[in-house]
C-alpha cells in the first residue's frame, strides 16, 4: 500500500502465492467454468486439493456441494438456484454455513472479460466472537445485577469496599484472600506473591496499578498465563473512591487479531492484483491506492489526500485524456456519475491503452480500477485487420462460401454465395439456421419435385463427413457444391458456378458427335459416290465397247442410240463431279455469286425441265402456281437454278408414283420472294429436319439403293440460298410429305 514504506519483494511464483493464500480464491471464466481454485477454497468445502478440477461448470460444483450439505439443511436444488441467482457482473457477498458448523463469507468480484473471482473468507471465529460479545453483553447485564463481572470498589482511602468472586478469579488469587477493608496496596502485595506476576510483564502491571491516577478513568490490558486476555478498567467514584472492573476479553481480542490479520491479507492482495486500484472517500479525496495503480498510471501520480477535482484538472492539462481544451475536457470527465458503475476505455499519452472502471462504495465514496489492456487492444486490432483481409478475400474469390457453427447457425458468408444461390438480400446474415435457408430454396422449388426430399436429406446429414455434388438451379445455373467439417463441430460449404464449363463440355460432346457423324457421313458419301460415279462410267464403257465390236460394219441405229446413252451418262457423270466441286468451293470459302437480272417464269421452266430429266419419274405431276406479274430477281442465275433444281429434284424423287408436287411463287406482304415446294412423299420426322442440310447426309442409308444420290443436294441448295441472303426451311410429317420454303430478301427483287 502507498501509506507505508515499501517492503523488499521476495521472488516467489504467483502459483505458490495463490496456493498459499489462507483465503479461498476461485477464478470463474465467462463461460461459468471454474478455471482455478486454491487449496484454501477446497478446504472451505471440506475437499482435498484439486477436488474440483479446472473446467468444472460452476452449477455442477455448486450442486455437488449442496448435496454434501455445504449450504446446510434444506432443498439442494433451491440452494443451487439461490447460489446461481446473483448477478455476477456486480460485486456481492453470500454467506454459507456448512454442516460442520463452519461459516464462510463468499465475495464476488467481476472481471472485465465476463468472468469473476470468488473469495471465501472463514467467518466462524468472527461470528463466534460476535456471538460471544453478544453473550458477554448479556452477561454484563446479568453481572451488574448478580455481580458476575469482576468488580471491586475502593474507598477514597484506598481500602476495599467490596469485590465479587469473578474479580478474584480473573486476578488469579483465592476469593477468601480478598476481604473488605483490605487496602489496595496490600492487594497488590498479595498479587505480587503469586507466580502469575513474577515475570517482567507482571511486575510492570503491578507498578502501573500503583502509579495510576484514580481520579480519572484508566484501562490496562493483561494476558494471563492461561492465555486469557483481560481488560482492567479503573473508574473514579464521586466520593473520591474508585472501581476496578476486570473483564475477560479473550475472544474479542482473538477476533480483533483475526480482523487485523485479514486486513493485512487484504493489503497483500491489493498489492498483488494486476489491476490498479484507487479508492476515493465520500469527500472525493484519495484514501488508498495500490502499487499497480502507480505503475499503470505512470506519469500521472496521485497521493493520499488529493482531491478528485485537482487530479482530473491536472491530468486534463497534461493531455492525459487526449488533445483539446483543458477546461472542456475537465467538464466532460467530471460529468461521469460515480454513484453508479461506469466503464470506459482510452489511450494514454504514452500509447498504452487502459480500461477504467468505477463503482460506488457504501460510504458514499467510490473505487476506480484501471487495467492495462494494451496487449488486448493490439490483439483486437490485429484480429480486426485479419478479419478485414479475410472479408476482402472472401469477397474476391469466385466461389460462394458459407461458414456454419456446431449449432447449425450461419457464422459468415460472402456476397457471391447469395448471388449463386439466388437468396434475397439480408437472408445470409449470421445467426440464420440451415433450416431457414433450405426452406427458402424449397419454396423456390430449386430441386423441382425433389425439393423437400433433398432439403430433408441435407438437414439430417452428418456434417462431420465431407460431401461433394453438383446440382442445377431452377434458373438453369449449374453449381458445384462441397461441404467439409471444421474444428468444433461446424462445417464450411462452398459453391462454384460451373455453368460455362458444363456448357463447354456439352458443346464439346456435341462437336465430337458431329465430327463422328460427319466422318461416318463422309464414309457413306464415298461409298455412295463411288456407286454414283461407277454407274454412268459402266454405261459409257459398255456402250463404247458395243460400238467397237461393230466398227467394221456399224449399224447406224445402234450408233445413234449408243452415242446418246454415252452422252447422257457422261453428262450425269459431269453433274456428279460438278456437285463435288461445288461442295469443295463452299467449304473452302471460294464460293462467288454473279449478279444477273433473271425472269422468274423462265427460270422455273428451266428448273422443271432439268429436274424431270434428272429424276425420270413422269408419273409425278408438278403443278406451278406463279403469281403474275413477278419482278425480276437479282441473283446468280446458274447458282439459283442449281439450288431450285436440287430442292425440286428431291420433291419429285421422294414422291410416290401417283404423287404430286406443288410449286408456289409469290411476293410476300413483307416484300420477300416466297417460294414453296410441297410434295406428297415419304416425309421426315421433325427431329431430322435440321440434319438434312448437313453434307453427305441421307437419313436412311437403306434408301440409297431406292433413292439415288450422294446426300449433297440440300446442303448445296442451302449454301446457294444463304449466299443470296435468303433462308430455306423444311416442314414435314412422316408419311405425309414435305414442304420446302425458300425466302429471298426484298432487295433481291427489281420491280
Written in H, E and C, the secondary structure of 595-644 is: CEEECHHHHHHHHHHHHHHHHCCCCCEEEEEECCCCCEEEECHHHHHHHH
What's the confidence (pLDDT) of residue 572?
67
Could you give the CA distance from residue 637 to residue 507 in angstroms, rounded to a whole number?
Answer: 38
Query: What are the tens digits of pLDDT across the range 520-548?
Result: 767 666 666 666 677 777 777 877 887 78
Q: What is the 3-class SS of 704-742, one letter each residue?
A: CCCCCCCCCHHHHHHHHHHHCCCEEEEEECCCCCEEEEE
Tell me the residue length of the chain: 751
Question: Is residue 4's pLDDT more than 60?
Answer: no
- Digit-coded pLDDT (tens) for 602-623: 888 888 888 877 666 677 888 8
719 CB contacts (<8 Å, ≥6 apart)? 582, 586, 591
- What cell was used for 486? 471444421
Lowest mean pLDDT among 173-187, 189-203, 495-509, 681-695: 681-695
pLDDT for position 141: 46
pLDDT tier, 226 (very low <50, low <70, confident <90, very high otherwise): confident
Extract the runs of DSSP E, i.e. beta strands, from 554-610: 596-598
Average pLDDT of the chain is: 83
Mean pLDDT of 311-331: 92
Task: List all residues 6 or more positions away from 433 whose beta carbon is below 8 Å from its beta carbon.
Answer: 408, 409, 410
Q: What is the pLDDT of residues 622-676, one digit of tens each?
A: 888 888 888 999 998 888 888 898 888 888 888 876 788 899 999 999 999 999 9
pLDDT tens digits for 202-220?
888 889 989 999 999 999 8
Residue 528: per-residue pLDDT: 63
pLDDT tens digits along 254-273: 888 888 888 788 778 888 88
pLDDT tens for 361-389 read 999 999 999 999 998 888 878 877 876 77
C-alpha cell at 199: 515475570
Q: What pLDDT score was predicted for residue 701?
A: 46
Lowest mean pLDDT among 81-90, 210-219, 348-357, 384-393: 384-393
> Which pLDDT belongs to residue 696?
58
Mean pLDDT of 391-403: 80
Q: What are phi and psi of 156, to 5 degrees?
A: -60, -25
pLDDT at 236 > cutoff 90 = yes
Q: How far is CA 531 from the centre of its chain?
A: 74
For residues 170 and 150, is the Cβ–Cβ distance under 8 A?
yes
**Neighbour order of strands in the sheet with 738-744:** 621-626, 660-667, 673-679, 738-744, 727-732
pLDDT score of 695 = 66
Nearest in space to 243 (alpha carbons), one of 167, 133, 145: 167
Write the pLDDT tens digit of every residue in 496-523: 888 888 888 788 888 787 777 667 767 6
- SS3 state of residue 479: strand
pLDDT at 300: 92
Contact 527, 705 (CB under 8 A): no
CA-CA-CA-CA torsion sign (157, 159, 161, 166): positive
Model confidence at 145, in pLDDT bands (50, 70, 90)? very low
Cα-only R_g, the chain: 58
Q: How far is CA 442 from the centre of its chain?
A: 23
Q: Which residue has the higher pLDDT, 612 or 726?
A: 726
Least confident of 55-64, 128-137, 281-290, 535-544: 128-137
- Between 313 and 545, the more confident residue is 313
Name the pairing type of β-strands 660-667 and 621-626. Answer: parallel
Q: Residue 704: what pLDDT?
A: 43
CB 177 within 8 A of CB 204: no
CB of 645 closer than 8 Å to CB of 614: yes
- Going across the sheet that includes 116-122, the strands are 56-57, 33-37, 24-28, 116-122, 103-110, 92-97
For position 268, what pLDDT does the model report? 82
Strand arrangement of the beta sheet that strand 276-280 belongs to: 286-289, 276-280, 366-372, 353-360, 342-347
- Give the number of other CB atoms < 10 A from CB of residue 340: 10
Q: Which uninterrupted H or E stretch holds 508?
A: helix 499-549
Give DSSP secondary structure letters for 262-311.
HHHHHHHHHHHSSSEEEEE-TTSBEEEE-HHHHHHTTTS---TT-BHHHH
Q: Which residues of 164-173 are buried (b: 16+ CB within 10 A; e: fewer)?
A: bebbbebbbb
Percent of the chain with pLDDT over 90: 21
Alpha helices (H) along 2-123: 14-20, 39-44, 58-67, 76-84
Sign of the four-CA dihedral 609, 611, 613, 616: negative
What domains are there in the chain, each with its CATH number?
14-122 (3.30.450.20), 129-255 (3.30.450.20), 273-377 (3.30.450.20), 397-497 (3.30.450.20), 498-590 (1.10.287.130), 592-750 (3.30.565.10)
DSSP H/E element including 344: strand 342-347
- Residue 369: exposure state from Cβ atoms within 10 A (0-12, 13-18, ≥19): buried
Q: What is the distance, to the nearest Å, from the Cα of residue 63 to the centroid of all Cα atoms in its chain?
A: 34
Written as nine digits, the cell of 589 is: 470459302
- Give the residues across from 248 on adjacent strands: 230
Strand order in the sheet with 596-598: 596-598, 632-635, 749-750
Amino acid at each position: 500500500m502507498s501509506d507505508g514504506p515499501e517492503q523488499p519483494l521476495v521472488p516467489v511464483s504467483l502459483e505458490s502465492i495463490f496456493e498459499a493464500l489462507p483465503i479461498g480464491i476461485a477464478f470463474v471464466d465467462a463461460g461459468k467454468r471454474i478455471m482455478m481454485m486454491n487449496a484454501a477454497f477446497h478446504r472451505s468445502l471440506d475437499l482435498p486439493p484439486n477436488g474440483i478440477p479446472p473446467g468444472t461448470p460452476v452449477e455442477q460444483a455448486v450442486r455437488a456441494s449442496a448435496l454434501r450439505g455445504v449450504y446446510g439443511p434444506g432443498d439442494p436444488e433451491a440452494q443451487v438456484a439461490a447460489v446461481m441467482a446473483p448477478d455476477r457482473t456486480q460485486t456481492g457477498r453470500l454467506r454459507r454455513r456448512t454442516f460442520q458448523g463452519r461459516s464462510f463469507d463468499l465475495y464476488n468480484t467481476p472481471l472485465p472479460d465476463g468472468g469473476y473471482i470468488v473469495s471465501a473468507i472463514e467467518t466462524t471465529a468472527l461470528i463466534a466472537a460476535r456471538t460471544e460479545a453478544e453473550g458477554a453483553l448479556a452477561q454484563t447485564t446479568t453481572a451488574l445485577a448478580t455481580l458476575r463481572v469482576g468488580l471491586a470498589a475502593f474507598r477514597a482511602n484506598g481500602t476495599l469496599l467490596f469485590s465479587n468472586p469473578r474479580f478474584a478469579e480473573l486476578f488469579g488469587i483465592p476469593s477468601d484472600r480478598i476481604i473488605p477493608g483490605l487496602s489496595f496496596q496490600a492487594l497488590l502485595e498479595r498479587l505480587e506473591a503469586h507466580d502469575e506476576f513474577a515475570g517482567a510483564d507482571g511486575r510492570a502491571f503491578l507498578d502501573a496499578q500503583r502509579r495510576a491516577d484514580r481520579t480519572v478513568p484508566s484501562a490496562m490490558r493483561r494476558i494471563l498465563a492461561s492465555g486469557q486476555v483481560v481488560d482492567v478498567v479503573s473508574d473514579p467514584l464521586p466520593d473520591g473512591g474508585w472501581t476496578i472492573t476486570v473483564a475477560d476479553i479473550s475472544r474479542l481480542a482473538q477476533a480483533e487479531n483475526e480482523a487485523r490479520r485479514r486486513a493485512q491479507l487484504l493489503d497483500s492482495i491489493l498489492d498483488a492484483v494486476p489491476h490498479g486500484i484507487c479508492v476515493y472517500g465520500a469527500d472525493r479525496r484519495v484514501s488508498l491506492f495500490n502499487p499497480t495503480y502507480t505503475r499503470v498510471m505512470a506519469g500521472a501520480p496521485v497521493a493520499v489526500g488529493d482531491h478528485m477535482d485537482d487530479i482530473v484538472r491536472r491530468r486534463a492539462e497534461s493531455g492525459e485524456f487526449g488533445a483539446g481544451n483543458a477546461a472542456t475536457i475537465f467538464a466532460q470527465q467530471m460529468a461521469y456519475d460515480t454513484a453508479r458503475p461506469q466503464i470506459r476505455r482510452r489511450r494514454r499519452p504514452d500509447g498504452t491503452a487502459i480500461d477504467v472502471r468505477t463503482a460506488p462504495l457504501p460510504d458514499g465514496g467510490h473505487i476506480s480500477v484501471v487495467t492495462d489492456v494494451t496487449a488486448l487492444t493490439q490483439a483486437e486490432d490485429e484480429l480486426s485487420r485479419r478479419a478485414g483481409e479475410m472479408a476482402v478475400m472472401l469477397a474476391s474469390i469466385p466461389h460462394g462460401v458459407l461458414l456454419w457453427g456446431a449449432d447449425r447457425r450461419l457464422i459468415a458468408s460472402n456476397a457471391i454465395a447469395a448471388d449463386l444461390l439466388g437468396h434475397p438480400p439480408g437472408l445470409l446474415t449470421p445467426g440464420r439456421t440451415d433450416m431457414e435457408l433450405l426452406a427458402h430454396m424449397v419454396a423456390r422449388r430449386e430441386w423441382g419435385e425433389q425439393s423437400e426430399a433433398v432439403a430433408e436429406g441435407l438437414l439430417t446429414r452428418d456434417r462431420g463427413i465431407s460431401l461433394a455434388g453438383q446440382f442445377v438451379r431452377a434458373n438453369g445455373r449449374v453449381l458445384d457444391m462441397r461441404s467439409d467439417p471444421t474444428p468444433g463441430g461446424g462445417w464450411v460449404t462452398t459453391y462454384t458456378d460451373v455453368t460455362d464449363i458444363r456448357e463447354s463440355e456439352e458443346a464439346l460432346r456435341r462437336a465430337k458427335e458431329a465430327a463422328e457423324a460427319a466422318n461416318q457421313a463422309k464414309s457413306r458419301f464415298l461409298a455412295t459416290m463411288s456407286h454414283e460415279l461407277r454407274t454412268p462410267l459402266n454405261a459409257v464403257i459398255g456402250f463404247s465397247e458395243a460400238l467397237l465390236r461393230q466398227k467394221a460394219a456399224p449399224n447406224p441405229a445402234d450408233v445413234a442410240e449408243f452415242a446418246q446413252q454415252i452422252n447422257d451418262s457422261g453428262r450425269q457423270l459431269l453433274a456428279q463431279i460438278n456437285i463435288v466441286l461445288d461442295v469443295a468451293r463452299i467449304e473452302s470459302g471460294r464460293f462467288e455469286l454473279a449478279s444477273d437480272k433473271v425472269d422468274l417464269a423462265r427460270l422455273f421452266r428451266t428448273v422443271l425441265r432439268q429436274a424431270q430429266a434428272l429424276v425420270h419419274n413422269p408419273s409425278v405431276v408438278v403443278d406451278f402456281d406463279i403469281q403474275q406479274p413477278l419482278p425480276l430477281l437479282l441473283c446468280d442465275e446458274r447458282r439459283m437454278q442449281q439450288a431450285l433444281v436440287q430442292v425440286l429434284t428431291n420433291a419429285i424423287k421422294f414422291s410416290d408414283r401417283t404423287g404430286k408436287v406443288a410449286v408456289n411463287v409469290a411476293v410476300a406482304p413483307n416484300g420477300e420472294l416466297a417460294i414453296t415446294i410441297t410434295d406428297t412423299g415419304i416425309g421426315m420426322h421433325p427431329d431430322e429436319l435440321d440434319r438434312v442440310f448437313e453434307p453427305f447426309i441421307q437419313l436412311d442409308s437403306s434408301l440409297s439403293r431406292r433413292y439415288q444420290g450422294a446426300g449433297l443436294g440440300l446442303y448445296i441448295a442451302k449454301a446457294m440460298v444463304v449466299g443470296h441472303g435468303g433462308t430455306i426451311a423444311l416442314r414435314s410429317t412422316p408419311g405425309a410429305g414435305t414442304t420446302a420454303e425458300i425466302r429471298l430478301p426484298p432487295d433481291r427483287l427489281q420491280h
